[in-house]
């Protein structure tokens, strides 16, 4: 394996391992999405800018200049995504949310076709239909612990995550990771005006600081840099681990056991996405060079 490819895999894997406790920390921080998003957004956004500046020696203006309006798009998209993720975790079963988020790469394929004029392969249509069945199982299961609003927020989060990657892919000469940081900060300040009491309890500070300083900001910076060495399909395949690891941590520590329907839907969606990604990688490997 080429050294640069190995570096890309290690960056993506490190990102997922660091990101895995995110849902658990949100649960430990309480059930106030506006308060959590305030501190998670402001602290996390500042840290994204610091990490990005450390890893990319260019100034912020030099990083975003090639993208122009793409930077503003990432800011707006990420602002919506951050709140929807916290709201979804606070109002739904964690496994339900993470399984829905795993659908983001397929959504990204269709958005790429729409905005970047890329062809949609037959395998993408088939995978989307199968995953759609899995999502229907999640939404229609009886006696679910997930609120419908939380599941809808998870779908919006998946779509915005896919949109974010498409915008970033559409501007390869720019580093739009800073847009994630600014989007986080924007969401944090908006939620600060909507929360009743902005000061967290003493028991909330540890999970909030863990999220803001490391777990929320660092993985997305590492994932953005991993795309310099490996393909988006390879990164997406590694990201599927977060669904498993994140759910496992919540199950073991908080005893939040997913329903049978959730497990079946998760197996269906994750296995479909794994096969889809493998076929995508094989097709890319067999494609003749320029």
Of the candidates 109, 101, 95, 137, the one whose C-alpha atom is nearest the C-alpha of residue 276 is 109
What are 157's two structure tokens?
Answer: 């989060």
**Residue linked to tokens 């989307």:** 128
To the nearest 10 degrees (0 to 180), the angle between helices 217-226 and 3-19 is 160
Alpha-carbon torsion (166, 86, 90, 254), positive or negative = positive
Q: Categorize the per-residue pLDDT at 133 as very low, low, confident or very high, splitting at 50, 70 and 90.
A: confident
Q: Categorize the per-residue pLDDT at 77 as very low, low, confident or very high, splitting at 50, 70 and 90.
A: very high
Residues in the chain, how many? 290
What are the angstrom distances between the C-alpha of 197 and each of 20, 32, 126, 188? 28, 10, 48, 14
Residue range(s) defining the domain that contains residue 273: 3-286
Of the candidates 122, 121, 101, the one whose C-alpha atom is nearest the C-alpha of residue 112 is 121
Q: Are 104 and 155 in contact (CB under 8 A)?
A: no
**Residue linked to tokens 């759609």:** 132
Contacts of 279 (CB under 8 A, 6+ apart): 123
Q: Categorize the per-residue pLDDT at 288 as very low, low, confident or very high, splitting at 50, 70 and 90.
A: low
Best-predicted range by mean pLDDT (91-100, 194-203, 205-214): 205-214
CA dihedral (236, 239, 243, 246) in degrees, to 10, reads -170
Q: Per mean pLDDT, which range of 9-13, 55-59, 98-102 is the poorest?
A: 55-59
Alpha-carbon torsion (70, 76, 77, 78), positive or negative = positive
Res. 289: pLDDT tops 60: no
Q: Are 190 and 79 in contact (CB under 8 A)?
A: yes
**193: DSSP letter:** T
- CA separation for the pair 190, 247 (Å, rounded): 29
Q: Categorize the per-residue pLDDT at 59 as very low, low, confident or very high, splitting at 50, 70 and 90.
A: confident
Res. 277: pLDDT tops 70: yes
pLDDT for residue 233: 65
The model's pLDDT over 161-192, given as tens digits with 9 standing for 90+, comes to 888 888 887 887 888 888 999 999 999 999 99
pLDDT for residue 2: 66
Q: Per mean pLDDT, which range of 37-51, 146-160, 222-236 is the poorest?
A: 222-236
φ/ψ bin of 117: left (φ > 0), alpha (ψ from -120 to 50), beta (otherwise): left
The model's pLDDT over 230-254, given as tens digits with 9 standing for 90+, comes to 766 677 777 778 888 888 899 889 9
Res. 144: pLDDT tops 80: no
The model's pLDDT over 14-50, given as tens digits with 9 standing for 90+, comes to 999 999 999 999 999 988 999 999 999 999 999 999 9
- CA separation for the pair 235, 13 (Å, rounded): 9
- The H-or-E segment that residue 184 falls in is helix 177-192
Q: Which residue has the higher pLDDT, 106 or 118?
A: 106
Contacts of 133 (CB under 8 A, 6+ apart): 268
Q: Which residue has the higher pLDDT, 144 or 100?
A: 100
Number of domains, the chain: 1
């Amino acid at each position: 394996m080429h050294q640069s490819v190995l570096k890309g895999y290690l960056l993506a894997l490190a990102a997922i391992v660091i990101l895995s406790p995110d849902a658990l920390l949100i649960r430990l921080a309480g059930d106030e999405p506006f308060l959590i998003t305030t501190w998670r957004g402001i602290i996390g956004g500042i840290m994204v800018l610091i990490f990005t500046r450390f890893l990319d020696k260019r100034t912020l203006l030099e990083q975003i200049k090639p993208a122009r309006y793409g930077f503003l798009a990432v800011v707006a998209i990420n602002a919506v995504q951050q709140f929807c993720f916290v709201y979804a975790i606070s109002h739904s079963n964690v496994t339900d949310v993470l399984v829905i988020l795993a659908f983001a790469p397929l959504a990204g394929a269709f958005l790429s076709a729409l905005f970047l004029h890329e062809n949609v392969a037959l395998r993408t249509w088939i995978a989307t239909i199968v995953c759609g069945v899995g999502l229907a199982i999640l939404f229609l299961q009886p006696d679910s612990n997930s609120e419908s609003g939380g599941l809808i927020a998870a779908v919006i989060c998946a779509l915005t995550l896919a949109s974010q990657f498409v915008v970033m892919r559409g501007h390869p000469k720019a580093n739009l990771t800073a847009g994630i940081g600014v989007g986080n900060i924007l969401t944090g300040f908006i939620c600060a005006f909507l929360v009743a009491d902005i000061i967290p309890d003493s028991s909330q500070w540890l999970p909030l600081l863990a999220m803001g300083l490391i777990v929320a900001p660092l993985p997305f910076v590492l994932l953005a840099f991993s795309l310099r060495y490996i393909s988006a399909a390879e990164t997406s395949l590694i990201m599927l681990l977060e669904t498993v690891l994140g759910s496992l941590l919540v199950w073991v520590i908080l005893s939040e056991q997913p329903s049978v329907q959730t497990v079946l839907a998760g197996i269906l969606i994750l296995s479909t996405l794994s096969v889809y990604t493998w076929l995508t990688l094989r097709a890319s490997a067999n494609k003749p060079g320029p």
